[in-house]
């Protein structure tokens, strides 16, 4: 009995010393199943660990890229607006404004494969097949003049590709190269002879206006009220719009949100603002630059009826060859119906 008591005291002391270095296991959690690990353990290391079997050529890559990536990254990986440029910039790293791309900057090809596979396309991540990823990566290499147009990338030749800036990196050396910043006793008086202003932020004038922002915040309240009032009117008028459908349509619309805005204050993003789109003539939203295909359809008199919209949303690329909408399509009819009702709730 007394023996046990001693043991108990000893372990109690151990526990009171914060958390012991070699804590006993608590037996919490459960073993991960192989299928679960396979589903999440997707990262690819520089030595190719994690690459699945597969291959893709430049030609296929160009097609997949045009369909799924070009809307943001441009047809030639040159980048649209502020979206990342993936090609070019060779030899600019020491310039005033270096252009950092896969070709000019990225040290490992594994990073490209891994990132495209897990994080792209933006708004539809993890939707690519391994062969598509190989093809896209092959095309990005081609855009950077690193391979010729006959090239096929696979897990077998993956490590043969040489990245131009592979040796362009050094380990963090701040503690040695900046050792002079460790100067325990800095100067306190008469540290310099003169002080002149050499540059002013007001000259550039790129700061968001505080007053404008305040006004916007103040306006936001009545604006939101107006919206809800409008929404009420719309619902009253169009009794056919089922609130549940609107709600589920709103969820589906999350897939569209990375490119489209809707509602009060909606602006054009990668895609046009969508207020009043259902029932409208195609290609007529003011201020948006449409693809040739969409312009042609507009000239042909296409109107976004429920039926046309449903067909477009089911398979955009098949419905309209050449559309810039790089979205694979909604597979479920329920989702299509719901999102159209949701779109209708913003006018038609």
Considering only residues 214 to 243 of the shown chain, the ones binding another protein according to CB under 8 A are 214, 217-218
Site for another protein (CB under 8 A): which residue of 61, 85, 103, 106?
106
Torsions phi, psi of 281, nearest 5? Answer: -70, 145
Closest CA to 249 of 325, 176, 330: 330
Find the binder of another protein among 51, 70, 77, 105 (CB under 8 A): 105
Within residues 151-180, the interface with another protein by CB under 8 A covers: 168-174, 177-178
CA 102 to CA 111: how far, in whole Å?
9
Stretch that binds another protein, among 112-120, 129-137, 230-238, 339-347 (CB under 8 A): 112-120
The full DSSP string for 260-301 is ---STT---SSS---TT-TTSBTT--TT----HHHHHHHHTT
Does 81 contact another protein by CB under 8 A? yes
Residues in 250-269 that interact with another protein by CB under 8 A: 257-258, 269
Instruction: Please state, in angstroms and rounded to a whole number, the distance separating the CA atoms of residues 341 and 272.
Output: 18
- Token digits for 48? 């190719």
Q: Which helix (H) or strand (E) holds 55?
A: strand 55-57
- Convert residues 9-48 into a mask of x (bound to another protein by CB under 8 A) and - (unbound): ----------x--xx-xx-xxxxx---xx--xxxxxxxx-
Residue closer to another protein, measured from CB, 4 or 40: 40
**Is residue 108 a contact point for another protein (CB under 8 A)?**
yes
**Binds another protein (CB under 8 A): choice among 57, 62, 67, 114:** 114
303 bridge partner residues: 281
Residue among 343, 298, 345, 288 at smallest CA distance from 320: 298
Among positions 302-331, residues that touch another protein (CB under 8 A) are: none
Looking at 6-14, 146-154, 205-213, 284-292, which segment touches another protein (CB under 8 A)? 205-213
């Amino acid at each position: 009995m007394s023996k046990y008591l001693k043991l108990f005291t000893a372990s109690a002391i151990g526990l009171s010393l914060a958390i012991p270095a070699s804590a006993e296991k608590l037996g919490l959690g459960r073993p991960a199943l192989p299928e679960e690990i396979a589903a999440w353990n997707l990262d690819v290391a520089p030595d190719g660990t994690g690459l699945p079997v597969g291959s893709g050529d430049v030609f296929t890559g160009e097609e997949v890229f045009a369909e799924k990536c070009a809307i943001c990254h441009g047809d030639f990986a040159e980048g649209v607006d502020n979206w990342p440029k993936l090609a070019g910039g060779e030899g600019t790293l020491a310039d005033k404004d270096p252009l950092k791309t896969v070709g000019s900057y990225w040290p490992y090809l594994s990073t490209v494969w891994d990132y495209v596979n897990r994080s792209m396309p933006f708004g539809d991540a993890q939707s690519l097949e391994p062969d598509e990823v190989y093809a896209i990566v092959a095309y990005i290499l081609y855009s950077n003049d690193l391979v010729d147009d006959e090239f096929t990338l696979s897990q077998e030749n993956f490590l043969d590709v040489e990245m131009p800036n592979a040796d362009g990196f050094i380990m963090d050396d701040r503690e040695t190269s900046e050792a002079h910043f460790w100067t325990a006793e800095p100067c306190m008086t008469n540290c310099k002879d003169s002080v002149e202003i050499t540059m002013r932020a007001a000259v550039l004038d790129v700061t968001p206006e505080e007053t404008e922002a305040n006004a916007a915040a103040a306006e936001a309240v009545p604006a939101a009220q107006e919206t809800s009032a409008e929404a009420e009117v719309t619902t009253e008028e169009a009794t056919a719009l089922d609130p549940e459908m609107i709600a589920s349509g709103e969820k589906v619309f999350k897939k569209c949100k990375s490119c489209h805005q809707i509602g009060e204050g909606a602006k054009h993003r990668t895609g046009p603002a969508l207020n009043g789109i259902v029932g409208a003539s195609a290609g007529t939203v003011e201020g948006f630059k449409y693809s040739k295909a969409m312009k042609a359809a507009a000239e042909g008199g296409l109107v976004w009826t429920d039926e046309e919209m449903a067909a477009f949303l089911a398979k955009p690329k098949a419905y309209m060859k050449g559309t810039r909408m790089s979205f694979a399509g909604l597979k479920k009819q329920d989702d299509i119906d719901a999102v159209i009702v949701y779109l209708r709730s913003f006018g038609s």
